[in-house]
Amino acid sequence: MSEETVDVLIIGAGASGAALAWSLAETRMNVLCLEQGDWVKSDDYPSNATDWELRRLGDFGFSPNDRKLAADYPVNDSESPIAASMFNAVGGSTILFAAHFPRLHPSDFRVRSLDGVATDWPLDYRYLAPWYDLNERMTGVSGLAGDPAYPQDPPKRPPLPPLPLGQLGETLARGFNKLGWHWWPSDSAIISQDYEGRGACINAGTCITGCAQGAKSSSDVTYWPIALRSGVKIKTHARVREITLGANGLADGVIWYDESGREQRQKAHVVVLACNGIGTPRLLLNSKSKDFPDGLANRSGLVGKNLMFHPYAMATGVFDRPLEGYKGAIGCCIMSQEFYETDAKRDFVRGYSFEILRGLGPMFTALMGMGWGSIPWGKDHHGAYAELFDRTAGMVVIGEDLPEECNSITLDPELKDANGIPAPKINYRLGDNSQKLMAHGIARAKEVLEASGAKKVIEEPLLRVAGWHLMGTARMGTDPKTSVVNEWGRCHDVKNLFIIDGSIFPTAGAVNPTNTIQALALHVADAMKKNLATLFD
């Protein structure tokens, strides 16, 4: 049992926890982070061996239900067409993320005002822009200024040049140009040149099983080393069960389990939740008391509600020549936002992005070909394999999902983790607008691939594995009746409890959320520092 009361206790050492810890370090407050996973060392990563692809099916897979590592907790996703994907370690899900690092658009913060759906954010793009700038410098974003899909005032200037497009990227760029559609080199959290003591990307193509090179800017190699040098502490293998309340109605700490399963307590003056859009509502819902019988900070009844994923569809073009698609950052190549904004001529509101992926490695070519029915067993196997290997280009549609209260995280009545803590259950269905939007996107993706020279296009209308982006389950707003946290991440109901992960997104936009999650965490940390004297008023 810990006797020490820390000033700030952060739960979760992923993208947002790292950014906030770094920002608070300068205050010299006593900051502690509890993380249920461990550090992942460079030698641990699959890319150090030739069978690296095989480990995508095992201990470096996306789903905690498949990995079943000690750091993982199970997620009941049987009532959802999209499975939860996350990683539990210092760095969190940035360990496995593809490292797309775009910003939201200005319109994403004004969805209600512009399109009459969902809700507006309590802050806007112009306000968040400096925090994006800071986060992109800290992260080491590779990209290119001048993208007409984003405002030039204030300008977006990635600190490093873009990653290589490669033969595959340039092939698809020509396809976009043939159609007259927007494309731009991806903003990537992967350093294209040596940066801040880290070595540049070597185009190994293994990003989604982690980066042994350290070129991918997972938060264990960006914010955490600096935060630790500045005095912040991390306890790993520390799984929090619940947040406890003091007699004054404020959070006074947490109960957690150490690696051996022993119950521990940690007292704190401020508690910050950074556990992702599933882990955060799980913890709040599991923190019940007389004052909060439906879960901590849940007087609005919205904790766990309004879960948003980004639904993903995928189109794969098969070309008649090699594309060297196994080289280069696997997810970061080109982004197109031709269909990002609402167009009244379409039968849906909001929009989507296209992201061009690289090709597949040797093993996943075989497994995907098997799934598509393109690579048979038997005498025709080798010929069919040769038609696919290094001749495919993937293209995903990442759609904006609107918040709906029926899409939710609850506590599973039976499933529990290794410490006996109730597991989260996802109840989710794809809304009507999302279905129309994704159908539009997959049809346009096929056009791009055909314009790029694909002789065949394989369409997958909804990727089950793609539950990477977990948002909306403790949303921010100014009204305590319709939101869980205020505009700087403080819970309306518990004045010393903050939430900084994707849970607080009121809407999802149609881009990968990590840059926005971290920019918000920096904003929240700044607000905490500015309001230290009146933090609990």
Partner 1 sequence: MSDVHQFSTHERDTLAAVLDQVIPPSADGRLPGAGFLAHGARFDAVIRLLPGLDLGLAGGIAACDEHARRRGVTDYRALSDADRLAVLNEVAAADPGFVPSLMFLAYSTYYVEDRVIAALDLEPRPPHPQGYAMAANDLTLLEPVRARSKLWRDA
Supply the DSSP string of 432-468, one letter for each residue: HHHHHHHHHHHHHHHHHHHHTT-SEEEEES--TT-BT
Distance between CA atoms of residues 302 and 475, nearest Å:
8
The residue from 127, 146, 155, 532 that contacts partner 1 (CB under 8 A) is: 146
Nearer to partner 1, 17 or 164 (CB): 164
Please choose, out of 203-211, 258-266, 311-319, 527-535, the segment that lies near partner 1 by the rule CB under 8 A: 203-211
Q: How far is the CB of 189 from partner 1 (least distance, A)?
A: 18
Distance between CA atoms of residues 64 and 58, nearest Å:
10
The residue from 259, 341, 459, 487 that contacts partner 1 (CB under 8 A) is: 341
Judged by CB under 8 A, the chain residues 82 through 121 that form the site for partner 1 are 105-107, 109-110, 113-114
The residue from 64, 92, 205, 489 that contacts partner 1 (CB under 8 A) is: 205
252 vs 50, 243, 268, 340, 495, CA distance in Å? 49, 8, 5, 44, 11
The residue from 213, 408, 515, 518 that contacts partner 1 (CB under 8 A) is: 213
Question: x/- contact string, 416-455, with partner 1 (CB under 8 A)?
Answer: ----------------------------------------
The residue from 204, 296, 448, 508 that contacts partner 1 (CB under 8 A) is: 204
518: alpha, beta or left, given left = phi > 0 and alpha = psi -120 to 50? alpha
- The DSSP bridge partners found for residue 356 are 334, 395
Please choose, out of 20-28, 87-95, 335-343, 434-442, the segment that lies near partner 1 by the rule CB under 8 A: 335-343
Work out the burial of residue 59: count CB atoms within 10 Å of its CB; fewer than 13 is exposed, 13-18 middle, 19 or more buried.
middle
Extract the tokens encoding 479: 């009204």
Judged by CB under 8 A, the chain residues 37 through 56 that form the site for partner 1 are 45, 47-54
Distance between CA atoms of residues 440 and 81, nearest Å:
19
Distance between CA atoms of residues 525 and 244, nearest Å:
22
Judged by CB under 8 A, the chain residues 310 through 329 that form the site for partner 1 are 324, 326-328
CB atoms within 10 A of CB 378: 7
Nearer to partner 1, 112 or 288 (CB): 112
128 contributes a contact to partner 1 by CB under 8 A:
no
The residue from 5, 26, 28, 58 that contacts partner 1 (CB under 8 A) is: 58
Q: How far is the CB of 114 from partner 1 (least distance, A)?
A: 6
Please choose, out of 149-157, 226-234, 250-258, 457-465, the segment that lies near partner 1 by the rule CB under 8 A: 149-157
151 contributes a contact to partner 1 by CB under 8 A:
yes
185 contributes a contact to partner 1 by CB under 8 A:
yes
Contacting residues for 302 by C-beta, under 8 A, at least 6 apart? 405, 474, 475, 482, 483, 484
Nearer to partner 1, 402 or 491 (CB): 402
The residue from 38, 69, 117, 182 that contacts partner 1 (CB under 8 A) is: 182
220 contributes a contact to partner 1 by CB under 8 A:
no
User: Residue 200 is which amino acid?
Assistant: A
Judged by CB under 8 A, the chain residues 358 through 377 that form the site for partner 1 are 362-363, 365-367, 369-370, 375, 377
Q: How far is the CB of 58 from partner 1 (least distance, A)?
A: 6
Contact in structure between 287 and 23 (CB atoms under 8 Å)? no
Distance between CA atoms of residues 402 and 128, nearest Å:
21
How large is the C-alpha radius of gyration of the chain? 22
